[in-house]
Structure 1
């Protein structure tokens, strides 16, 4: 009957391995989901979380965020209830945790457990911040100090940060600091005060206060809401490009537009004049001025001729806080002068960068061209090429380099490690300037070429090293073969002696048996 015992044991172990494992891993808690576009449960919302168990004989219970068992009393604000459901022919026990009216204190980790296993789930409840008594737009006169107030109410208690143009505003604690921050509490909620000292025109713009709510128990339970406050600084007109005389170049009988634009709040009104002499101004009628309220510009159209060349035109911008003026002069357009100096600033494998300057600029510049040729044997001995040789040269438009300098240009698409003769000229609507004095400049070797040369050097070194290693390995192999032969001789000698010993032992044993 032993075989029957073994069969019973086998069936029992198989049952425990299959069904026992399923029971131990049969606990499942549904993920907590929130309303669309929300990552938290708003205060006052009803919420249920289901915990399912396949084995109906197991005891199932919920533990709240303090570790206490949730009672089965549906009169409580938070309670648990048991349900039995059919799923694929099996009875499933469902323990449902119900929040009839969620509060912020419900945030935390909840645990569904049986006598064999448990599973945790996080719940985030937030009373989202509301901004109260916080304006959207404020206008303040220049020169004053002003305090912006941002008041937020919500749970968890929000903290407020300020920023402007994407940069955080911080209080350095210095008396000379532009910004000062202060916080206070009142019955409405948390209030943050941002004081901007000595307001200037540049201080106008949008200031953003952001209320951040965070839960100390859950790292992923947080909410940020922002409020924009537009600060308008009332100030007298200011010309952003300065008050220097603006030169307007024009050809004979060409109609030109003198455009006047000042930054001011409230918006300024404009008047146009020209000087009859050093002390007398002639004012143009408003019908002759094109006013553009959308752009804040006032345009005066003038026909350039001998009577208007070098004449000064004055634009005056005025608002209730003051006025400001800017002078324009119409200058007869001429062909540009050739550059006074052309200096090499930087070189690479395909590009040469130059600084081009003039002793006196009294003409507009619309572009700069370069003529260049390779320094060869025909012109190598001379200081500069002959004019006839430049006919074989190439021409290219120089590219303006945006590095903060006014007259920095680059000549591109050159051959690497090559010396060139180069001269430049400028152009505008009237024509071209003469060519500048030629200079010589060289491109450098490219990084790719340097890398190839380096790799070839390394390869040669590695080849020599490999040959040395091969010689050493050949020598080691020869020595190894000799050692191997010696080892084989020793092994067979010992094997032969061992065989004789075993044979002798067998013979002695047989003789004693006989």
Structure 2
């Protein structure tokens, strides 16, 4: 056993600095401690490769350099350097060089660049949103080298206590108003100042803005809005109020929806009706004021046909079945195409052939809205132009069934 161990130790000693068959690192990068702003230079040399294919690595990532140079030290013997003209904290780390040979990758020894300078922050104080007079903590962490690093707090332009070691946690008993704060970190190289944070007091949110109707399909309407000022507190829900305007305003049950997203689909609305909606949003403090009302009108639920001829179905107490009339100028009155088209309305009164004087029904007597009335002007057939055909039978022993 001892003999095997001695043979192994002799092998390792005789191949010290060797990467493989004929590949040998003759120079390795060395540890360096550099003051911030000064230059740093790492060297690496390898023997036994035909072409100078030496790559520099930092913390496991390949370094790409457009000005990397190779120096010939001899046959199949190359040297290269990695240089940093002005070292900053981000240049600190572990470095080494690599070379590929016959499909294998060989690495040099590893070295550290340590950057000395004023402290740099690992964790800077962040903005805080809180209720009035509620305690909270602020955290600041800064490091060197050189160490040690001390931290001093400033709140509202006033120094809070004395400097203490990093990391530092400042306990604030509570504030009534918004206030600014930051921390200072100091070592033998100088002082660094953190970002300035703000303590925000949570308040009610502002009213939502940008209310709009995104789309209307049949009797389904998609409404959207944008949140206003959140009051330094995340919005949880929004409240929708909807009303329908007819002879009088009907207030419909309000809806509460989770946000985001800031939109809602309303289903089952009445066709060709006037609606209004407004929104209020809620955070931890409470509900915002309502937005101004947004007014919109739902479309008519009229079916359409693509052709220029259509059939008008008229139902009347006089008729047991609808009276079908062919129309040749239907398209101008109803523009959008659809799978089929028919318009049904109920006559205001019935008539029979024994009546001495026939009072003609008018559009005003049909009980339809003004929009549809205008569209029917061109397609209405007056009663006086309809003639009764042959007797088809009787309903309840009296009213006849008629056809055109």
TM-score, normalised with respect to structure 1: 0.40
TM-score, normalised with respect to structure 2: 0.48
Larger helix percent: 1
